Each structure stands twice: as structure tokens, then as C-alpha cells.
């Protein structure tokens, strides 16, 4: 039996992509949105069985205010967080706010589905391995390496970063070419080069990676030259 749910993510594109995938698997998605002042109101008005909340920064102060309010006003709604790993403080904050589960953001759709079903049944939806890794990092903190967003910026040329940003905005090859004043064939080549460098197989995966690593927030309009190196 399908789950009635609301999907929320830092980036609307990802919320809608996840919602579409779950609809295809027989679940009833009541709404898909990016968080805003009305995110909690949206969940409360729809009264789903499960609310999926995706975030790229679970350790930030106040990020789980929606979870707290939903659990306070609709205790029957199970909340499952999709977030980065390892992030022990984020995992702790999610459960402290009332979440029923925490799933790593790169989990396969089957894993997300299992977590939803467990949370709806009143069970805690988090893998033992995830808890072990979180506890291990809390007990033995290590120096933070350069973040993934910085690594991606160093891998890509300015032109490729612009292409990635346009892909993340949902632009197709024709729009990318028009926006960058290049031929469609050149735009297609740039897109393929970006996918190859990022090690992903589709535009959706590239957009998801950019969003989850904070690259979309880091790179704003005008922060890279649109006429940068095409190499």
C-alpha cells in the first residue's frame, strides 16, 4: 500500500524529482516544495502520513524548525530526513527535533522507500551503520577536509561551472546554447564533459550533486565569467 507523503528539499528541482520517482512506485505525493516560511503550514494542511525533508546543511541552526512544529502539532506525521553523511551533529539535531528517520542523501530510491514505510509504522528508520559512523565521528573527531563544493569548483572550468548551473536550473541543450551564445553541439559537448568530470550519468544526478554539495548556493550570478575558458 502506497504512502501518503509530502516531499520538501532545499532545492525544488530535487523535491520534484524525488516526488516523481515515488509516484512511479505507487506512492501518493500530496505536495513537493522547497522550504520556506510556509513549509510547516504546507505539511500541516495536507496531513500526510510521512514527510520527507531533504537538506544539504542539517547542522545549521534552525534547519529543523519545520520538523519541530510538525511533530508538535501533528504528532502522527512521521518525518524522515535525507541529509549528508557523515554529519553527526546533523543526525543528532534531526532526531532531537522529532524526526523518525535519517537517510543518507545518496541512498537509492528503494532505501528511501523502506525508511518511509518503517517510519509510518512507528519504527526508527536509520541504519545501524549510519549510527555507528556518526557516533565514531562524534567520539573521534577528525580535521575537516576541503569541502566537496570547493573540490568541484577546482575541477571545472568557468564555462563548465556555468553549464552546470544552467543544468541545475533545468535548462535543456537549446536553452543552454542560447543563454551562452554557443552552438547546440558545443553546449552538448560541455554538458557531457561536466557529467564525465563529476562522475555522474545524467543531468539530474549532476544537478543533485551540485545542490547537495552547496555549489548552487556558493556560485551566484556574476561570480564566474560566462565567457570563461571553454577547455
Structure confidence at residue 135 (pLDDT): 67
CA distance 146 to 166: 25
For position 217, what pLDDT does the model report? 67
pLDDT for the residue numbered 36: 63
pLDDT confidence of residue 1: 75
Does a structural domain hold residue 214? yes
In terms of domains, do 178 and 206 share one?
Answer: yes
Number of domains in the chain: 2
Please tell me the predicted confidence (pLDDT) of residue 147. 61
Domain co-membership, 119 together with 188:
no
Given 81, 112, 139, which residue is the final one in a domain?
139
Domain of 43, in residue numbers: 4-139
Residues 171 and 63 in one domain: no
pLDDT tens, residue order, the chain (231 aa) = 799 999 999 888 899 999 999 999 999 999 999 876 688 999 999 999 999 999 988 888 788 999 999 999 999 999 999 998 878 888 888 888 999 999 988 889 999 999 999 999 999 999 887 777 666 666 665 544 446 677 777 788 888 888 988 998 889 999 999 999 999 999 999 999 999 888 888 888 888 888 777 776 666 544 444 434 334
Check whether residue 153 and residue 135 sit in a common domain: no
Residue 82 domain-assigned? yes
Return the H-helix or E-strand segment holding 7: strand 4-9
Q: Does 53 map to a domain? A: yes
21 and 93 co-located in one domain:
yes
Residue pair 161/219 in contact (Cβ under 8 Å)? The answer is yes
pLDDT at 82: 94
Evaluate whether residue 223 is within a structural domain.
no
C-alpha cell at 132: 555507528
Q: Is residue 229 part of a domain?
A: no
What is the b/e burial string over 158-190, where b = at least 16 CB atoms within 10 angstroms of the residue's CB? bbbbbbbbbbbeebebeebbeebebeeeebeeb
**100 plus 179 within the same structural domain:** no
The answer to whether residues 135 and 153 belong to one domain is no
CATH number of the domain residue 16 falls in: 3.40.50.2300
Q: Does 228 fall in a domain?
A: no
User: Is there a single domain that holds both residue 204 and residue 175?
Assistant: yes
Phi/psi of residue 199, nearest 5 degrees: 70, 35
**39: in domain:** yes
Task: Point out the domain boundary residue: 139, 165, 181.
Answer: 139
pTM summary value: 0.60
| Per-residue model confidence (pLDDT) at position 219 | 64
Q: Which of 107, 139, 171 is the last residue of a domain?
A: 139
On whether residue 224 sits in a domain, the answer given is no
Asked if 132 and 154 sit in the same domain, the reply is no
How many CA atoms does the CB half-sphere of 147 hold within 13 Å?
Answer: 14
Which CATH number do you get for residue 204? 1.10.10.10
Amino acid at each position: 500500500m502506497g504512502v501518503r507523503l509530502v516531499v520538501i528539499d532545499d532545492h525544488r528541482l530535487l523535491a520534484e524529482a524525488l516526488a516523481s520517482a515515488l509516484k512511479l512506485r505507487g506512492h501518493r505525493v500530496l505536495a513537493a516544495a522547497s522550504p520556506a516560511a510556509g513549509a510547516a503550514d504546507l505539511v500541516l494542511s495536507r496531513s500526510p502520513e510521512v514527510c520527507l525533508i531533504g537538506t544539504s546543511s542539517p547542522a545549521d541552526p534552525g534547519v529543523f524548525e519545520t520538523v519541530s512544529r510538525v511533530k508538535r502539532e501533528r504528532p502522527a506525521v512521521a518525518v524522515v530526513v535525507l541529509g549528508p553523511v557523515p554529519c553527526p551533529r546533523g543526525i543528532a539535531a534531526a532526531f532531537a527535533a522529532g524526526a523518525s528517520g535519517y537517510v543518507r542523501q545518496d541512498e537509492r530510491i528503494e532505501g528511501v522507500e523502506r525508511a518511509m514505510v518503517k517510519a509510518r509504522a512507528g519504527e526508527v528508520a536509520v541504519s545501524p551503520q549510519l549510527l555507528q559512523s556518526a557516533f565514531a565521528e562524534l567520539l573521534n573527531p577528525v580535521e575537516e577536509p576541503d569541502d566537496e563544493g570547493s573540490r568541484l569548483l577546482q575541477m571545472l572550468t568557468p564555462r563548465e561551472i556555468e553549464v552546470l548551473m544552467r543544468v541545475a536550473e533545468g535548462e535543456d541543450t537549446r536553452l543552454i546554447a542560447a543563454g551562452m551564445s554557443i552552438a547546440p553541439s558545443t553546449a552538448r559537448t560541455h554538458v557531457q564533459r561536466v557529467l564525465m568530470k563529476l562522475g555522474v550519468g545524467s543531468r539530474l544526478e549532476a544537478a543533485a550533486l551540485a545542490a547537495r554539495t552547496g555549489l548552487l548556493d556558493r556560485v551566484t550570478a556574476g561570480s564566474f565569467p560566462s565567457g570563461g575558458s571553454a577547455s
